[in-house]
Every structure is written in C-alpha cells, then in structure tokens.
C-alpha cells in the first residue's frame, strides 16, 4: 500500500479564509518512499453570510430540511456492495459525460435518518458531476435502496462499511483519486474511518470533508435533551421507529412498536436498540467506541471539517476541545445551523453555501 499523503494545515480556524487544495490537480511525487503534495494557489474560502430571512441556527436547520431545493431524480446506476457479514450497502453512481476511467471520484455518506435521496446528497452529487467528478451517493445498511438487503441497521461506527465501499469504487473506476464526504452522523463515520486505522485507508483516497459531524456522540445526545431541542429529538426518534416497524428484515426488531410509544430521546433509543443490535453492552460503550473525536488526532490525509457555532444538534465546543491532527482543519462558521448554510445571493451560483464548499474542496474552485 502506498504511503499516506500528508499536508500541514492549521488545526482550527474561525477565520474567513481557508486554502482549499485542488484535488483534481493533486500531484503525488514518490521519492524514497515519501509522498509529496503540490497544489496551485487557491482563492480564499468564502465566509458564510446567512440569508436575511433565515437567521439563527434553528431557522437555518429547519429551512435546510423543509426547503430542499432542486432535487430532481438524477440518472444514476445502482451498485449493490456486499459486506463481510452478508449485509449490503448500495451506491448510486452518477457519471459525468466527459469522465474517463481513472478520473476523479467522490463518495457521499448521509446522516441519521437520511439516505442517498436526501436533498444535500442529490444537490452536491449533481454539482460534483458538473465539475467532472464521478459521484457515488451511499445508502448505508437498511437505508434507502439498501432496505431489505441487510439484517442489521447502520450506526455511528460503521466505518468498515465505508472502507468496503471505497475499495469497490477504486476497483470500479480503475483507481481514480477519490474524495470522501460525510454529513452529520456520516461525518462522524468517515472521520472515524480516517483515524482509527490511518495506515489502512485506501490508497486512492485523496481528501475528505465532514459537514456538521457528530464527533462526540454523548455530547450531541445530551444536547438533544435540552427543552429547546426536543423537537429534533422527537423527529429523529419517530423517523427511526417508523422505519424499523416496517423493516421486517432486521434481526430482533426489539419491540420497536412499543419503543415508538415510550422512547422520547435519542439516548433512550440507542440504549434500547442501537447499542445491543450493534454488539455493544450499553449506550455508553457504544458512544465511547464510535465517537470520531477519539480518532481525530490520527488522521493523515488532508481533511476539512465545516461546522457552525449555532448548530443546535452538534455543540461547537466539541470541536474546540477535540485533539485534531495537523492534516485536518476545522472551519467554524458563526452561523449555518445543522446542514443548513442557506446564504445570501452573489457568493455562489445558488444560496447553498454548504454544497459549494464541498464541491470547491473536492473538485477545486471553478475557473472563470
């Protein structure tokens, strides 16, 4: 396996500029076993300025959820990827017209209760394709098109599943350089993957970006129990229970019908269902083992974390106290909520600031 590529980046930043290396132009020069990275100078990282009618973390979060934007059904091939235990994930494959074998690719990993059809996944994949990047939107175990193909649900520690997906993509695309994108819970999963076994990440993986990643699961769970955030907890619990009641393929449905009537918070759900179904003794063991914060200092590939000070679901303090590797940069925007980042006009082609930061980091800023 080739040695991991590393570049020195500031550990954390709340500034409004951030160099974004162009991974399409990323050059690996192997010299005596040492890989070097060169990239051209980049324009500044645009600051996020919220839409005048969408101010504050809650407004941004709710608007991002209920105003999805252009999510017309994309033309995508489906690949069923079998895992070691017999379960499966599904990759939705969107290929640019000018793409050739060995060209750039990206894998997008959704958040809790999301899937490959989530609005942020579809919007970003389309924009990546417009930049010539082949985009794979992943349905994790029992999510989206993978429903009925697995006996266990996905959870915050499913980093091995993403590893298998990356290896599949490398073989399918003739080893093209690949960017990895994770949202919320998916962001935690990809950061865990990068840090838990840094010597074993696929050689094709060029860089990664995590948006609002829930890197401290216990802290995020506690935050959802605050009175002002209970509407989100209720939404997540209802969505998860509704899904599992219908998912007759899953092992030991664990009296989900009863759970849907009694469980109020994510921690309760995880303690009664997610932890035991995933092989953990209790919720505390699950949260401790699967939180990406414990692995973040080991990350070696260029990585960017984008989060918001006013995110109601992921407290900004988790990023301030995390031990971050030199190859990782954290950008804390003053606002943006959770997977919101609906900005003012004139910065990007549309108001979806979050999408464009992913695209610019993975594919490089568009040349006028």
What domains does the chain contain, in order, with CATH numbers? 23-215+292-363 (3.40.50.1820), 217-290 (no CATH)
pLDDT for res 329: 92
Instruction: Tell me whether strands 77-82 and 34-38 are parallel, antiparallel or unpaired.
Output: unpaired
pLDDT for res 1: 35
Within the chain, residue ranges assigned H as helices are: 57-66, 119-130, 159-172, 185-196, 217-223, 230-246, 256-262, 266-269, 275-277, 283-290, 317-320, 353-363
Instruction: Tell me whether strands 178-183 and 303-308 are parallel, antiparallel or unpaired.
Output: unpaired
Residues with Cβ within 8 Å of residue 7, at least 6 apart in sequence? 21, 37, 302, 327
pLDDT for res 233: 86
Q: At what angle do helices 185-196 and 159-172 cross, to 10 degrees?
A: 80
Closest CA relative to residue 169, chosen from 98, 219, 95, 223: 95
**pTM value?**
0.87
pLDDT for res 365: 77
Closest CA relative to residue 27, chosen from 177, 200, 194: 177
pLDDT for res 367: 60
Closest CA relative to residue 68, chosen from 120, 115, 143: 120
Residues of the chain with pLDDT under 70: 1-44, 245-261, 367-368
Q: What is the pLDDT of residues 272-305, one digit of tens each?
A: 889 988 899 999 999 999 999 999 999 999 999 9
* Cα atoms in the 13 Å half-sphere on the side-chain side of 362: 34
Residue with structure tokens 């009175």?
227
Task: Please give the helix or strand (H or E) that residue 88 lies within, else none.
Answer: strand 88-94
pLDDT for res 256: 55
pLDDT for res 17: 39
Mean pLDDT of the chain: 85
pLDDT for res 89: 98
pLDDT for res 230: 86
């Amino acid at each position: 396996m080739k040695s991991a590529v590393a570049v020195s980046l500031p550990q954390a930043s709340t500034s409004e500029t951030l160099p974004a290396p162009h991974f399409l132009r990323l050059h690996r020069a192997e010299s005596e076993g040492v890989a070097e990275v060169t990239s051209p100078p980049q324009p500044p990282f645009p600051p996020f300025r919220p839409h005048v009618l969408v101010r504050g973390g809650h407004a941004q979060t709710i608007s991002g959820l209920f105003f999805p934007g252009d999510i017309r059904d994309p033309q995508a091939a489906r690949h069923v990827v079998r895992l070691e235990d017999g379960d499966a994930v599904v990759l939705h494959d969107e290929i640019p017209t000018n793409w050739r074998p060995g060209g750039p690719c990206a894998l997008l990993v959704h958040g809790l209760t999301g899937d490959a059809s989530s609005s942020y996944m579809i919007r970003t994949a389309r924009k990546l394709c417009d930049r010539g990047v082949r985009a794979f939107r992943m349905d994790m175990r029992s999510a989206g098109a993978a429903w009925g193909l697995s006996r266990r649900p996905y959870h915050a520690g499913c980093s091995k599943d993403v590893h298998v997906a990356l290896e599949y993509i490398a073989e399918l695309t003739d080893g093209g350089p690949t960017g990895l994108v994770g949202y919320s819970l998916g962001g935690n999963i990809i950061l865990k993957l990068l840090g838990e076994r840094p010597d074993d990440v696929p050689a094709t993986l060029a860089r990664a970006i995590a948006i609002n990643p829930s890197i401290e699961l216990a802290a995020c769970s506690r935050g959802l129990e605050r009175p002002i955030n209970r509407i989100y907890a209720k939404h997540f619990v209802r969505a998860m229970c509704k899904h599992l009641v219908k998912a007759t393929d899953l092992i030991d449905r664990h009296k989900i019908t009863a759970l849907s009537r009694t469980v109020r918070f994510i921690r309760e759900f995880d303690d009664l269902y997610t932890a035991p179904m995933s092989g953990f003794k209790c919720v505390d063991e699950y949260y401790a083992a699967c939180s990406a914060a414990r692995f973040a200092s080991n990350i070696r590939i260029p990585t960017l974390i984008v989060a918001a000070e006013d995110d109601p679901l992921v407290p900004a303090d988790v990023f301030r106290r995390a031990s971050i590797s030199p190859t990782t940069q954290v950008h804390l925007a003053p606002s943006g909520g959770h997977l919101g980042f609906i900005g003012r006009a004139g910065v990007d082609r549309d108001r979806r600031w979050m999408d464009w930061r992913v695209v610019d980091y993975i594919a490089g800023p568009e040349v006028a």
